[in-house]
Amino acid sequence: MSEFYQSLSHSKWDCKYHVVFVPKYRRKVMVMFGEIRKFLGPIFHDLARQKECRIVEGHLMPDHVHMCIEIPPKYSVASIIGFLKGKSAIAIARQFKGKQRNFSGESFWARGYAVSTVGFELEAVKRYIQDQDVADKSGQF
């Protein structure tokens, strides 16, 4: 049992979520700026670590992001996704748009996201995320 569960001071937990979010207007910005794709992976991992989370699997598509993320029960999914999207948008603005301050009105990501719990289907979700390139090239969604 202990190999699957992590622990906090008063709880054992295994909370994994499959999350999908898109850039504003679902623009294919990750294709236009190939560097953004390379830049965002380490940014997402660093931001997740700051909130004691772990990205189990992730894939950046031209017009959306898929990730399987482990979030401790002391944080809400909404707060973690908001943190990831907000801080990564600031990092993108600094790196690619030359902005250093005054980010009001700046937005890279669309407002919403899709989330589902993974449960005991972790391997199936990881395989689904990894196979996104194949599905995208064949025209499937």
Q: What residues are annotated to the active site?
A: 128
Please list, residue by residue across 81-105, b when 16 or more beta carbons sit within 10 angstroms of its beta carbon and e when fewer do: bebbbebbbbbbbeeeeeeeeeeee
* Bridge pairing between strands 54-60 and 11-13: unpaired
Compute how many other C-beta atoms are within 10 angstroms of the C-beta atom of residue 53: 21
How far out from the chain centre does Cα 100 lie? 23
